[in-house]
Amino acid sequence: MTPSLTRPVALVTGASAGLGLALAHGLADRAWALIIDARGADALKNAADVLAAKTDVVPLAGDVTDPDHRADLADAVGELGRLDLLVNNASYLGPSPLQRLAAADLAELRRVYEVDVIAPIALTQTFVPDLVATAGIVLNISSDAAVEAYEGWGGYGSAKAALDHASAVLAAEHPELAVYAVDPGDLRTAMHQAAFPGEDISDRPEPASVVPAFLRLLDSRPASGRYRAAEFAPAVAS
């Protein structure tokens, strides 16, 4: 089934699990058409099978650092005919356990920057014309590690800080777009568990718990900038 051009379309990276999958479900519940990606083909197919009961979904397995995969994502957007929302959610933490910056493996550090900074910029470059056509939204998933100095988080935190600044520059260059860097807060995800190997993180909330805050952000469309998801949660709860 081909979605009508009047339906909004979102591209969500890293959407086979965690926050990406939760956001995909939140958008699907609102009848957004979806293009979703992740590196694991099996997990992505399973996610797409469930989402397909709610909306039109195009799953494309691949690595966001791969130009050929990004070209496939561009082809999918072209087939649907529009793009209203780009969610740069795919991220790489680095080795587990986390490495102190002075001893960090530089090859791993480059990988962190390729996934967390270069790939989102490359995807944004690809889709700016589509997003400008719909007065769309770029949503970059950030972290409190971008603004707080935590031992072991130098690679990931500095990459997210770079993504925050790139988001601000994009907003200055394209005022017709809404560009957000959003810190979702600590969540019970596989990546967060990898940051704390062997520790119990069951006290962290599930990713689905912050989806209403993200939807509130999209609905209210505040000025471009950096936000915490928690800033929008009270409005949802009330």
- Catalogue all structural domains in the chain, each as residue range(s) with its CATH number: 9-237 (3.40.50.720)
The band of 190, judged by pLDDT with boundaries at 50, 70 and 90, is: confident
What are the tens digits of pLDDT across the range 125-135?
A: 999 999 999 99
pTM, to two decimals: 0.94
pLDDT in tens, 149-169: 999 999 999 999 999 999 999
Average pLDDT over residues 204-225: 96
| Phi (first) and psi of residue 226, to 5 degrees | -100, 130
Over residues 114-139, the mean pLDDT reads 98
Q: Tell me, what's the pLDDT at 5?
A: 55
- Distance, in Å, from the CA atom of 84 to the CA atom of 86, rounded to the nearest integer, reads 7
Sign of CA dihedral 165, 21, 16, 229: positive
Look over the chain and give the mean of its residue pLDDT values, rounded to a whole number. Answer: 94
Residues in contact with 24: Cβ distance below 8 Å, sequence separation at least 6, in sequence order: 10, 12, 15, 34, 36, 47, 51, 57
pLDDT for 234 beyond 70: no
| DSSP string for residues in 29-85 | TTT-EEEEEES-HHHHHHHHHHHTTTS-EEEEES-TT-HHHHHHHHHHHHHHT---E
Q: What is the pLDDT of residue 133?
A: 97
